[in-house]
Amino acid sequence: MADATPKTPEDFAALALVNAETMRKHTPKPAAVGDIWHRVEGAWIDGGSEMYEGVKLEWTRWRCVKTTPRGAWFSCMEWPHKRQRFALTSGAKALSRTQREALKRLVARKVRQLRILEGQKTEAEDTLEIARAALSAMEAAS
């Protein structure tokens, strides 16, 4: 197997060209004024009763209103009174170019949220167990 480590200045220059071309292919194009991006959230179903009825997906569309070198400003089309939102177009997590990307990001956010909540639940259960043991010990001592 040949060693792929660049040795000469020409090798380094060729590698730099390959890396630059790879970056161009995988770097998302910047947002343009007028582009529509998407966001999806889980929203409570409010049927008027006080019982939990579940959640539904709530979609919002965001129109690009201004671009900057690092990202773009977006305005919500469904809720015009909402504040404008800034998104880094190179790796935006708040808004997505397509509905499929928006759903993938929602799944990733909720998986992360569940991991955080599981950790908090474990800590709460451990604290509760220690507090109950301490309370039992105090009551037995008195």
Using one digit for the tens of pLDDT, what is the confidence trace for 36-95? 999 999 998 888 888 888 999 999 999 999 998 888 899 999 988 888 888 776 656 688
Strand order in the sheet with 71-76: 36-44, 55-67, 71-76, 85-88
- Domain tally for the chain? 1
Determine, yes or no, domain membership for 56.
yes
Nearest Cα to Cα of residue 90 among 67, 62, 70: 70
Determine, yes or no, domain membership for 141.
no
- 1 band by pLDDT with thresholds 50, 70 and 90: very low
Determine, yes or no, domain membership for 118.
yes
Determine, yes or no, domain membership for 53.
yes
Show contacts of 23-27: CB within 8 Å, 24+ apart: 27/90
Determine, yes or no, domain membership for 7.
no
Token code pair at residue 29: 């194009």
